Structure 1
């Protein structure tokens, strides 16, 4: 699926949602769009009350409307690194995400990779990430893939380190984007200076998840047609 078609569908969906708020007249519906949210516990919605309604994928779904199908494929503790302590590659949700045949994939992995036990394998981060992106790009559905900077931590726990994410993981995400020719969604900046949204210093609450969803919507609908 091309970025142009994706953006066209999203723009039409948002326009129709706006129109329907003021009119009871039937409108022509755009093609359904399938969005896979791939990630760790922050995508899963760990610690969020009623995560089925308030995780970032759930709020993204609500923002984009009924003509999209957003699925949450987040796995708590998952790493991008194949040699990490819980590789996303080995999780059933990875296979499920592929079988979903998405039109769009949003990947947010890197927080758990910042742990010392995992980051000792940092030399593999870029090639592993590129391979993950390509595993989705090779699907028959030809999805558009966006990758995300990790959200900040304040300053972190469980071995997760904001300093490593900011100074080492994020520059490698830049390199991945360059080599894989994909675009970045900057969730780090979106949630910077919002410590109050991180009750356990690592996971954003429902308000933080809303910021994530709003940031993603803004980025993926901002391209010129």
Structure 2
């Protein structure tokens, strides 16, 4: 069969574009900054079942990325005050970013903080007022951008908890209402970076809050508290859902 010149050029163009797509697959280094939900509290095996592990697994099988390495820096009970620059948690998170083997990979900080800030009492600084929450988050992001100029920061929306949540700390309806007020503050803060740091700071997942509100009994752990059984931490099923929500958000940013 005779192939004309035009067909050969078309074939060459296709092969070149396919090679470029394969060659340009991004390697990712992800540091997850967060609280007990990020940590994987209450899960049988947090090393494999916590949302960061699920998120990384999702991105590895998504097909558009190369190596995906991650570090779960979640800490139970931590608020934005515990994550301010200079705190042990912040120093450790930055050290984790520097410890990845492949320093040429795209560095991503995935942040989900707010649950413990919203508490009525019992956590560091609680309750953290809306303006202070926004300021603290900005200070954290600004320092990450300064110390890692090529990084991307993705702020995941917090997830719902039941209005009777009361363990070692008191949350209740007042806390839940405060938590909901943080969400538009996150979105507004991200908008401010569009001019100062274009394509570096993003809103991540926005769906998990309502998902867990609707599916609390099947996807959140049934925990005994001072006001009966409450729902706060994902169970293994819920952790898969949350991790995949985060993974889809990160994949969208990288698209």
Partner in structure 2 of residue 115 of structure 1 = 119
Unaligned residue ranges in structure 2 (runs of 5+) = 1-17, 61-65, 99-105, 195-200, 224-230
SS in 2 for 1:116: coil
Listed one character per residue, the Cα deviations across residues 81-125 of structure 1 (whole Å, up to 9, x for unaligned) are x3xxxx223653321211214700110000001112312543311
Q: When the two structures are superposed, what TM-score results if normalisation uses the length of structure 2?
A: 0.68
SS in 2 for 1:204: coil
Given that residues 118 and 128 in structure 2 are in contact (C-alpha distance below 8 angstroms), is that contact kept between their aligned partners in structure 1? no
Given that residues 79 and 117 in structure 2 are in contact (C-alpha distance below 8 angstroms), is that contact kept between their aligned partners in structure 1? yes
Unaligned residue ranges in structure 1 (runs of 5+) = 1-11, 17-27
Give 4+ residue runs of structure 1 displaced > 6 Å after superposition: none
Answer with 177-186 or 212-221: which moved more. Answer: 177-186
Q: 1:177 aligns with which of 185, 190, 195?
A: 190
Q: 1:59 to 1:120 in 2, by over 3 A?
A: closer
SS in 1 for 2:214: coil
Q: 1:195 aligns with which of 216, 219, 222?
A: 216
Whole-angstrom distance in 2 between the partners of 1:215 and 1:173: 17
Partner in structure 2 of residue 92 of structure 1 = 88
Given that residues 154 and 198 in structure 1 are in contact (C-alpha distance below 8 angstroms), is that contact kept between their aligned partners in structure 2? no
Partner in structure 2 of residue 62 of structure 1 = 57
- 1:136 is aligned to 2:158: no
Q: 1:108 to 1:68 in 2, by over 3 A?
A: same
SS in 2 for 1:115: coil
Listed one character per residue, the Cα deviations across residues 179-206 of structure 1 (whole Å, up to 9, x for unaligned) are 2343222131343301121223111112
Considering only aligned residues, what root-mean-square deviation do their CA atoms show, in Å?
A: 2.5
Whole-angstrom distance in 2 between the partners of 1:53 and 1:120: 32
Partner in structure 2 of residue 20 of structure 1 = none
Given that residues 113 and 119 in structure 1 are in contact (C-alpha distance below 8 angstroms), is that contact kept between their aligned partners in structure 2? yes
Q: When the two structures are superposed, what TM-score results if normalisation uses the length of structure 1?
A: 0.77
Given that residues 112 and 158 in structure 2 are in contact (C-alpha distance below 8 angstroms), is that contact kept between their aligned partners in structure 1? yes
Whole-angstrom distance in 1 between the partners of 2:155 and 2:26: 24
Q: Give the structure with higher Rg (CA).
A: 2
SS in 2 for 1:150: coil
Q: How many residues align?
A: 195
Given that residues 36 and 106 in structure 1 are in contact (C-alpha distance below 8 angstroms), is that contact kept between their aligned partners in structure 2? yes
Whole-angstrom distance in 2 between the partners of 1:175 and 1:159: 28
Given that residues 130 and 180 in structure 1 are in contact (C-alpha distance below 8 angstroms), is that contact kept between their aligned partners in structure 2? no
